[in-house]
Amino acid sequence: MNGLERTDGDSPVNEMRNQSMHFEPVNESAQYLLQRTKYRPKVAVICGSGLATLGTLVEKPDVFPYEDIPNFPVSTAPGHKSRLLFGILNGVQVMLMQGRFHLYEGYSIYMCAMPVRVMHLVGIKSLIVSNAAGGLNSKFKVGDVMMLQDHVNLQGFVGINPLAGRTDTRFGPHFFATNHAYDRKWRAKCRQIMEDLGLGDHCREGVYSMVGGPNFETPAELRLLRMLGIDAIGMSTVHEALTAVQCGMSLFAFSLITNACITDYEVDQGASVAEVMETAHNREEDLKIIVGRLVAAMGSETQAL
Ligand SMILES: O=P(O)(O)O[C@H]1O[C@H](CO)[C@@H](O)[C@H]1O
């Protein structure tokens, strides 16, 4: 054990440290939920922009508006419903977030990632994270699904990281490897599911990164991101993924490529929320089947845990 891993929340030195996550408010949110639902899910889903419709898969749901959950943030982004569902999806108990939190909403990186810590205290072992993203890789087409093999934590480069600051080992270790953050078995499963559905040509794999937003990127920024080896760009997911891995969850994440990133100054058209929503809407039925089958696979695996 080193000095960073202690759990002495009220020590004077911790008072001087930044506003990183405390155990008690997260636990209060988790206990609020556990006391009000009979479900004890081990699988969770985070719905990206325009993908809240995945929530329609959940049968017999217990519905918790975020505003009712103590210490929980409230969604303000377009296409995010701001409610948490507990219920059954393809025969598996799930916890599903219809709405996530972004830096551009004014929340700290700790608050953006806080629901994942709530999931951990609820008992979640496997997590599916979805997002809408712009396609930087020129081979990608609008409507493709990019499974995250990896990410670049741009905010982390300058110390903006939900794991920074005081660490409470009840949320996992301070230092840990991230070379297998995204569990390759779920990528193999997703590829198989998409091939079975005749969607193999739309199944991609690559590197995601997150900017702060809310504006979409300039052509110069997009060219820089492409040089960094980034295939898809969004404004979310990285902080959730890191928090999930720290908590020991098995993670699958995918980007729906909702728009092509435009780096040519001669093109008049630019990225828009309307295009993001339209693509999400067009792909929702396929994504429901894919996510449903992935949840079923995760459910069989976590049953034994
Ligand atoms: O990452 P999700 O929440 O899917 O949302 C993506 O879509 C929004 C832009 O339309 C941004 O918030 C971007 O991050």
Closest ligand 1 atom number to CA of residue 77: 12
Q: Nearest CA to 234 among 77, 13, 10?
A: 77
State both tokens at 55.
């929530």
Query: pTM above 0.90?
Result: yes
User: Which of 210, 235, 256, 259 to mutate for ligand 1's pocket (most ligand atoms within 8 Å of CB)?
Assistant: 235
Establish whether residue 102 lines the binding site of ligand 1, counting it when its CB lies within 6 angstroms of any ligand atom: yes
| The pLDDT of residue 6 is above 50 | no
* 151-194 pLDDT, tens digit each: 999 999 999 999 998 778 999 999 999 999 999 999 999 999 99
Question: How much is the CA Rg of the chain, to the nearest whole Å?
Answer: 19
What pLDDT does 120 receive? 98
Q: Which residue CA neighbors atom 11 of ligand 1 most closely? A: 235
Q: How confident is the model over 199-229, as pLDDT tens digits?
A: 999 999 999 999 999 999 999 999 999 999 9
Q: Using a 6 Å cutoff on CB, does residue 92 contact ligand 1? A: no
* Mean pLDDT value of segment 53-81: 94
Q: Whole-number mean pLDDT of the chain?
A: 93
Domain covering 23-303 in this structure, CATH number: 3.40.50.1580
Distance 232 CA to ligand 1 centre (A): 12
Alpha carbon nearest to ligand 1 atom 8, residue: 49
Pocket probe for ligand 1: among 49, 101, 104, 291, the residue whose CB has the most ligand atoms within 8 Å is: 49
Residue type, 187: R
Cβ-based neighbour number of residue 58 at 10 Å: 22
The answer on whether 161 is annotated among ligand-binding residues is no
Phi, psi of 152, deg, nearest 5: -115, 120
Is there an atom of ligand 1 within 6 Å of 48 CB? Answer: yes
Closest approach atom of ligand 1 to CA 100: 3
Domain ranges of the chain: 23-303
Residues 87-116: b if buried by 16+ CB within 10 A, e if exposed: bbbbebbbbbbbbbbbbbbebbbbbbbbbb
Which has the minimum average pLDDT: 13-17, 29-33, 97-101? 13-17
Q: Diameter of the chain by CA atoms?
A: 59
* CA distance to 72, 94, 122, 124, 174, per residue, from 26 (Å): 8, 19, 10, 14, 18
Name the residue of 109, 131, 145, 275 whose CB sits within 8 Å of the most ligand 1 atoms, as the mutation to test its pocket.
Answer: 131
Instruction: In whole angstroms, give the CA distance from residue 9 to residue 6.
Output: 8
User: Cβ(259) to ligand 1 under 6 A?
Assistant: no
Q: Residue 36 annotated as binding?
A: no
pLDDT band at 5 (very low <50, low <70, confident <90, very high): very low
> Using a 6 Å cutoff on CB, does residue 279 contact ligand 1?
no
Any atom of ligand 1 within 6 Å of the Cβ of 131:
yes
Q: Indicate if ipTM > 0.85.
A: yes
Q: Is 112 in the pocket of ligand 1 (CB under 6 A)?
A: no
Q: Give the residue whose CA is nearest to atom 9 of ligand 1.
A: 273
C-alpha 136 – ligand 1 centre gap (Å): 15
Q: Which atom of ligand 1 is nearest to the CA of 234?
A: 14
- Mean pLDDT for the stretch of residues 231-241: 98
Nearest residue (by CA) to ligand 1, atom 10, is 273
